[in-house]
Structure 1
Amino acid sequence: MITISSISFGEDVEREVLDTLRSGVVAQGPKVAKFEERFAELVGTRHAVAVNSGTTALIAALQVQDLEPDDEVLTTPFTFVATLNAILESGATARFADITESDFALDPAVTAERVNERTKVLLPVHLYGQVADMAALMPLAESRGLAVVEDAAQAHGATFEGRGAGSFGLGCFSFYATKNLTTAEGGMITTDNDTVADRLRVLRNQGMRRRYEYEMVGQNFRMTDLQASLVLPQLGSYREQVESRRRNAEALRTGLKDVDGLRLPSELDGRGHVWHQFTVTLGEDAPIDRDILAQRLYERGVGSGVYYPKAAYDYDCYRKHPRVIIEDTPVAASVARRCLSLPVHAALSDGEIDQIISAVRDALEAS
């Protein structure tokens, strides 16, 4: 079975972890600090503040916005629910704008229509490894006085017109096990704002700057040196991994470009895609639906994934929530019914790429 993701660690990671174990410093320490420094360089910001998950990164980034109970955060419904959970954790109200099918991210025109006097934060999600249309979203945020928090959980090293994902506002990244860079669990917040970075470092450490000297109500959001040890060696070869993903994506695009009823993802002009996922959408006139395609691929030895099967708000626990405002998002609802992610990870061989292409073609042409 060709899996949707591949997780493996080399001897360099084993040596780094062993070095940490032998050092006796396994909580937040010098390895975390080194990871922060190198990740800030990757993104192109002055600061990177490590935390213990991508969700925590979003929660902390929203917490330092000092939101009031009636404030609203405007985001996309086509995202993992961590985005929505973080908004609710902050005490704010969540409101949604629709997406475009070209990048699976916020539609700037619809977003502008949904901004109101209660909107305080714009929260775009850079989905599947490609940055949202920040050329349109940033002027909107600036003209309306909105803070920008970027959910860049899947966009490590992605760029928009030369700027890194996570460098436009407060960038929030995940290092979950299946991400392009992983610490098993972990997150990072990036910023150029010295004051905000300082607040985040105090916040993640129970509100302490020095032991038992509390400056704010805080949390334990710390990353451990053991987690950082997993990812430090990965950073040295990350560019090569991304290039492998790009080659795989291009091979998939070439092999599937003439398949009727299948819409392929692309790297849009001015954007540097890191291909966390290769997500296709079936046309409304496709001979089979997404779930049948996934089953036929499985029968042919190819794994796939649905990211995501519903809009984030389309569950009872959110539909009934008093701080979740649901408005029509027809593109997101349609894409959620029709999307399917194919393997694109760096461990794929040329033969496996060919197998994926053949399996997709056979599954659709057999109808």
Structure 2
Amino acid sequence: MIPFLDLKAQYASIKSEIDTAVLGVLASAQYILGDEVAHLEEEFADYCDVKHAVAVNTGTSALHLALLAAGVGRGDEVVTVPFTFVATVSAICYTGALPVFVDVEPVTLTMDPAKLEAAITPRTKAIIPVHLYGQVADMDAIMTIAARHGIPVIEDACQAHGAEYKGHRAGSMGISGCFSFYPGKNLGACGEGGIAVTNDDAHAKTMRMLRDWGQERRYHHVAKGFNYRMDGIQGAILRVKLRHLDGWTAARRAHAAHYSSLLAGLDTVKTPVEVADRRHVYHIYAVRCRDRDGLHRVLEAEGIQSGLHYPIPVHLQKAHEDLGYRPGDFPVSEAAARTVLSLPIYPEMTAKQVEQVVAAVEQDAYVG
């Protein structure tokens, strides 16, 4: 069987480093926040080329705190895309604000700047582009529109650790950037985790307080906060994995290039496009095909796991039917939801496994 990802293989490759780091936290008894988390914040901020990083318990929490730090609250509007994981929209709802959607570009499946300005109203308090699958959205165009209207941009970089746009790291261009450390991410914890990065001193201070019950100092609660703190063990594990991230990214990009080269001759499969001046980190290697569900079943029969990211766009999810959107409102997102299939990709994958996946795709009569 070829798994969609192989977390056991990743652990095996760095087992001694992880075990030593975890035992160090157990010995220190710094189970919540502590030195390991503080060091992770410093190292990840440096990795993203920003001043501050605030470690939290999930990527969703990072988005929530970034929105609150930007002043978003009840009655406001936040513009984002419907073709994303639901957490992007959930974080907006947590603040009491209203999610407003714009469609995505057909090539990158990231926010379409040409459609952004029409979605902005006097109630718009933030814009959240999503760096989908590991490729950064068109930030120059988005930032230009946002600046014209005086609206902060919060980057959902939960799938884009180390991705770049014209030499700038994902998360470093908006007022803040948010990352998930869910285990399957390019930089994943052994459990839940997330982080928000920013160059804004005030935003960093606010997010630090809000993640820890709104405390300015112990038992002095100056804001209504949350229990969004990162565990010390996750901080230690992530510090180990951060040292390997560039190597893992290089491996992902090599596998993606191998896939694209082998699939290039097929007119039945559309491979992902890496836009000029952007560094795609391939959290997901997503192809487009006519009968996505048919190919999914065929690969499964061949012992090859694949993924659906995402089969129902957020505006058509039952949980968000109160927003009033209908089928046809965002045709590019809806078309992507019907046609995108994620092929296995992870650093420990072998070239032979890539070739086996491609051979199965080539033989599939459903692809079109």
Query: Could you state the TM-score of these two structures normalised by the residue count of structure 1?
Result: 0.95
Q: CA deviation at 1:260?
A: 1.9
How far apart, CA to CA, are the structure 1 residues paired with 2:253 and 2:120? 35
How far apart, CA to CA, are the structure 1 residues paired with 2:179 and 2:115? 25
Number of aligned residue pairs: give it: 361
User: 2:152 matched to 1:182?
Assistant: no
Residue in 2 that maps onto 1:320: 322
* 1:209 alignment partner, one of 210, 216, 238: 216
The 5 A counterparts of 1:169-318 are 169=174, 170-183=176-189, 184-282=191-289, 286=290, 289-318=291-320
Residue in 2 that maps onto 1:165: 170
* 1:67 alignment partner, one of 72, 81, 100: 72
Letter in 1 for 2:4: I
Contact 1:265 1:278 in 2 (8 A): yes
Q: CA deviation at 1:290?
A: 0.4
Distance verdict in 2 for CA 1:270–1:114, change over 3 Å? same
Distance verdict in 2 for CA 1:150–1:304, change over 3 Å? same
How far apart, CA to CA, are the structure 1 residues paired with 2:180 and 2:243? 18
Q: CA deviation at 1:326?
A: 8.9
Contact 1:95 1:326 in 2 (8 A): no
Distance verdict in 2 for CA 1:268–1:22, change over 3 Å? same
Contact 1:79 1:125 in 2 (8 A): yes
Give per-residue Cα distances to partners, 1:199-250, cap 9 Å, x unaligned: 1111111011211111111111100111112211111111110000010000
How far apart, CA to CA, are the structure 1 residues paired with 2:38 and 2:161? 18
The range that moved more, 257-266 or 85-94, is: 257-266
Contact 1:319 1:326 in 2 (8 A): no
Give per-residue Cα distances to partners, 1:311-364, cap 9 Å, x unaligned: 112122211257x79981110001100000001211111210110110111114
Which blocks of at least 5 consecutive residues in structure 1 are unaligned? none
How far apart, CA to CA, are the structure 2 residues paired with 1:328 and 1:47? 38
How far apart, CA to CA, are the structure 1 residues paired with 2:273 and 2:192? 29
**Identical columns (%):** 39
Letter in 1 for 2:6: S
Q: CA deviation at 1:90?
A: 0.7
Letter in 2 for 1:229: A
Q: CA deviation at 1:5?
A: 1.4
Other structure's SS at 1:280 match: strand
The 5 A counterparts of 1:45-64 are 45-64=50-69
Other structure's SS at 1:117 match: coil
Q: CA deviation at 1:194?
A: 0.6
Distance verdict in 2 for CA 1:358–1:325, change over 3 Å? closer
Residue in 1 that maps onto 2:107: 102
Which blocks of at least 5 consecutive residues in structure 2 are unaligned? none
Query: Could you state the TM-score of these two structures normalised by the residue count of structure 2?
Result: 0.95
Letter in 2 for 1:332: S
Other structure's SS at 1:340 match: strand
Contact 1:162 1:270 in 2 (8 A): yes
